[in-house]
Every structure is written in structure tokens, then in C-alpha cells.
């Protein structure tokens, strides 16, 4: 992950007048506040859940921990990353006049509501074209899809094998790689909000 580049783009996003003067500013602030609150609570839940798992002597300890990590990844993707992706897209449409076609409705996207029926692949491709390609690296689409459709197998050591739609196995993913994905997402929250974890709770309250 190129964190310097990510920080630069997040600073550009935050320093704009998008949240103050944009025509979707109220919806954007509400969406950001809600998504940050969710990810903050998920982080607190992770602290609570990890301690007893780490202390457990169960022979299924690694499998149980990976199960939780997979749920965590899916939750962070659906409740946080997709919201940020939508915010970046609306920001680009409003400030840079980029056009994103909604194939389902046969219209150009003009609101956050329009984005609900655009798939993540096309959203991320749009962001890549507008210099936000880091979202593709941050959003674990292959793993997210495998979790959502239960197309994976957890091995005794906590690693997983994902399967594509045809049932063919994809590459092995270690438990350390899963933890890294989650840490990257939480670190992205800090970079995006430009605040410390301790200050994040206050920021969430201010956005309500």
C-alpha cells in the first residue's frame, strides 16, 4: 500500500468544500458519520472477541479466529469501504465532473442513491480512472465475494482457500494476510479522518 499517495488523496478530499457546499453534502456527512461509527464499534468488538480466542486451548482455536476475521472483513467491506467508495465517487462527479454510467438504470450517476444499483467492480474501475486506484488494493474483492457466498475452506492452521464461481480453488491466503487486510482498513480510517483512534469517537459524535 502506498500510504503517502493515499494520504495525499485523502487530504485533497478532506480539504475540498465538498462537505460544506456540495449539493449532496448533508447525505455525504450522514453517510460518513454512520460508516465511521460502525467501523469504530467493530474495532471495539474485535478487542473484546480476540482476547478469549487467543487464550483458548481449543484445538479449533485457529479456525475460530479466522471465522471471526472473515466476518470482520465482510462487515468492514459492506459497512465502511463501500460507503467511502461512494463518497469518493460523488466527490469526483461534483468537483471534477466525472461521469459514471449506471447500467441498471441506463442513466449517469448523479446522486448517492443512484450508486446503490452500481456494482463494486464498476465503481472501483471508475475510481482507478480518476487516480483513486488504491481503493482496489484496499478493498479485498476476491475475498469479500468468497465470504459472502461461502466459497471458502478454512484449514486447521487458520489459512483459507477461496473458490471462484465455477468451484475452482484460488490461491491460499494465510491468517496473517487476513489480519493485514483488517489492519490496513483500520489504518485507512485514521488516514481518511486525519485523526488518532482516541479522537475518532469525538469526531463521530460531531458528525451526527
For the segment 131-146, what is each residue's pLDDT rounded down to a tens digit?
999 999 999 998 999 9
pLDDT bucket at 156, cuts 50 / 70 / 90: very high
Question: 71-80, 99-108, 185-194: which range is least confident on average?
Answer: 99-108
Reduced to 3 DSSP states, what percent helix, strand and coil does the chain have, rounded to the nearest 5?
Answer: 65, 10, 25
Give the pLDDT of residue 134: 94
Q: Is residue 105 part of a domain?
A: yes
Q: Which of 70, 100, 104, 107 is nearest to 85 (CA)?
A: 100
pLDDT tier at 106, thresholds 50, 70, 90: confident
Whether 149 maps to a domain, the answer reads: yes
Residue 13's pLDDT band (boundaries 50, 70, 90)?
confident
Given a cut of 70, is residue 36 above it in pLDDT? Answer: yes
Q: What is the pLDDT of residue 152?
A: 94
Could you give the number of structural domains in the chain? 1
Is 18 inside any structural domain? no
As a whole number, mean pLDDT of residues 61-71 equals: 94
Grid coordinates in use for 179? Answer: 489480519
Residues 186 and 188: their CA atoms lie apart, in Å, by: 5
As a whole number, mean pLDDT of residues 43-70 equals 91
Q: Is residue 51 part of a domain?
A: yes
- Quick one: pLDDT at residue 66? 95
Query: Is 44 domain-assigned?
Result: yes
Q: Residue 55 belongs to what domain range?
A: 3-9+25-207
Q: Measured between alpha carbons, how far is 64 from 156 in angstroms, rounded to an integer?
A: 10
pLDDT, mean of residues 15-24: 77
Any domain includes 158: yes
Q: Which three cell numbers stand for residue 160?
A: 483459507
CA gap 127, 19 in Å, rounded = 19
Do the domain assignments include residue 161?
Answer: yes
Amino acid at each position: 500500500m502506498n500510504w503517502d499517495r493515499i494520504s495525499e488523496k485523502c487530504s485533497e478530499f478532506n480539504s475540498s468544500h465538498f462537505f460544506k457546499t456540495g449539493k449532496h453534502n448533508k447525505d455525504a456527512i450522514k453517510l460518513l458519520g454512520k460508516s465511521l461509527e460502525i467501523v469504530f464499534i467493530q474495532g471495539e468488538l474485535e478487542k473484546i472477541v480476540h482476547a478469549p480466542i487467543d487464550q483458548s486451548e481449543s484445538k479449533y482455536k485457529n479456525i475460530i479466529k479466522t471465522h471471526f476475521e472473515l466476518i470482520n472483513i465482510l462487515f468492514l467491506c459492506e459497512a465502511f469501504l463501500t460507503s467511502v467508495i461512494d463518497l469518493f465517487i460523488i466527490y469526483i462527479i461534483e468537483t471534477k465532473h466525472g461521469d459514471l454510467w449506471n447500467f441498471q438504470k441506463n442513466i449517469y450517476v448523479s446522486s448517492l442513491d443512484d450508486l446503490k444499483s452500481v456494482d463494486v467492480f464498476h465503481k472501483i474501475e471508475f475510481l482507478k480512472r480518476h487516480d483513486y486506484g488504491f481503493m482496489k488494493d484496499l478493498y479485498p474483492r476476491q475475498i469479500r465475494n468468497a465470504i459472502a457466498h461461502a466459497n471458502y475452506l478454512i484449514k486447521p492452521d487458520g489459512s483459507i482457500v477461496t473458490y471462484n464461481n465455477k468451484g475452482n480453488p484460488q490461491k491460499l491466503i494465510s491468517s496473517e494476510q487476513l489480519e493485514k487486510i483488517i489492519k490496513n482498513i483500520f489504518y485507512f480510517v485514521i488516514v481518511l479522518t486525519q485523526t488518532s483512534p482516541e479522537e475518532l469517537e469525538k469526531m463521530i459524535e460531531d458528525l451526527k
